[in-house]
Amino acid sequence: MPQMTQTFTLIPGRITLADLRRLAAGGISIALDPAAWKAVDAAAATVARAAAGSHAVYGVNTGFGRLAKLRIPPADVEELQRRIVLSHCVGTGDPLPDTAVRLVLALKINALALGYSGVRQSLINALCALYNADVLPVIPAKGSVGASGDLAPLAHLSAVLFGTGEARHAGRVLPAAEGLARAGLAKQPLAAKEGLALLNGTQVSTALAAHGLFQIEAVFAAALVAGAMSVDAALGSDVPFDPRIHAVRGHPGQIDAADALAALLKGSQIRASHLDCDRVQDPYSLRCQPQVMGAALDLIRFAAGTIAREANAVSDNPLVFAESGAILSGGNFHGEPIAFAADILALAVAEIGALSERRTALLTDSSLSSLPAFLVAEPGLNSGFMIAQVTAAALASENKSLAHPASVDSLPTSANQEDHVSMATFAARRLGDMSRNSADIVAIELLAAAQGVDMRKPLTTSPKLALALRAIRAEAAFLAQDRPLAPDIAAIRALIESGWFRDAANVELPSA
């Protein structure tokens, strides 16, 4: 359990991606800006009046989905909210990671506190108490189609509030009632519309997309460093990173990637040693890095904009407009924006890994790199990086399959009432697997490139790449002869996932 060290004042609708990165890590407590309560109270009062009235209002005194035409007697309105949560607890699969669940809680607090959902202060405060105590509902990862909100996963979160299900605290899984006690909470009754407000929304899809974005940013930064180090190890040229080349094409990401690569290579003795060599052009995996990585960076930035907007969005249904007293039924719960954003991120992270794998293959091929075969002394007796490159190829191939767009799929649900869905939850969830695959691919390249640079001694690499080389060598020694490389790969992947390379790459990323 992270130690709570500071308070984050949540101003509804103004959470940044950098805020979300902090909230995912934990170690801070959430305090809602007191100015938010006026809108919350007004919307809750509007719902209370509707619940006591004679007109049918969806989700307040009616059934749900295809059963929306059925009226619910006033005496059963609160029980209706509890039962909708219970009926939707149908998730399957492994639980979401703690970092993602913290994000789901924070995003749900943010959405409800905007004052368009009609819930009471007590419900929002209960969610804050769960987050602040790091009592995290156990949410099965599978079961949402990303329309009508992330219904099943949000039901598992919501059920904990009235003592049903399980929660994780300090690494242990507890019955929900015990988790509530750890958070200083009693079981929470649900008033009119509160169950629906908890279930409707894209907070799980958005949390998973944000979580994937943060991981992909770390992989992107590491891949830039790896790519520059591979250029040096393979006696490649820095001419393709000349800013004039990229200015005439005009893509911002390409310009930024080229600048970063040029800065990483600046001052390399290895590069200076072959300025007048007879090689005319390098293979594409070295030469076209700005074009490929820059395109990926543009996609990352675009997707990040969608995620940031959705993180601050109201995706409930129906929506309560207290000033006019209107309660309007629409479709803000549909996850298509996040599905598209996640699919875009999937394309980017797949290509980051694919390009990295090609550079590892180049380094291990002595005819291309002019280094010993498979980057090891006594090739034949030693296999060196031969099978590490095979692992990279396997992971890159797996990512190609995972990169297939999820958003183009749809299966009708709820007896065709919900006849087009986004599949946003899976689209976002698979980013975790893809980013981990690409982190492993880039870790293999960093090890291979470090090996190649060390083989160029006494010539030295650039000052910036030397810092990265020292960080790598602190985790993994030079490969003098064959040994298991799996621990080295895992150690460098952990270094990537820690964000160490974000500063080394020195490129502007969305959640900085």
User: How far apart are alpha carbons 474 and 57 in whole angstroms?
Assistant: 63
Q: Which residues contact 462 (CB under 8 A, 6 or more apart)?
A: 228, 232, 264, 265, 266, 267, 268, 271
What 3-state DSSP class applies to 320? strand
Tell me how many degrees the CA angle 329-334-340 measures, rounded to the nearest 5: 155
Please report how many Cα atoms fall inside a 13 Å half-sphere around the Cα of residue 338, on the Cβ side: 41
Residues 355/227, Cβ–Cβ less than 8 Å: yes
Q: Which residues contact 61 (CB under 8 A, 6 or more apart)?
A: 50, 51, 71, 72, 74, 77, 80, 192
Q: Phi and psi (nearest 5°) for 409?
A: -95, 150
Q: Helix 151-159 to helix 98-112 angle, to the nearest 10 degrees?
A: 90
Q: Which region holds residue 279: left if phi is over 0, alpha if psi is between -120 and 50, else beta?
A: beta
> Nearest CA to 496 among 228, 266, 214?
214
* Annotation says 116 is catalytic: no
29 strand-pairing partners: 7
> Nearest CA to 101 among 50, 129, 141, 62?
141
Question: Catalytic: which of 58, 116, 131, 284?
Answer: 58
Residues 74/52, Cβ–Cβ less than 8 Å: yes
Q: Active-site residue numbers? A: 58
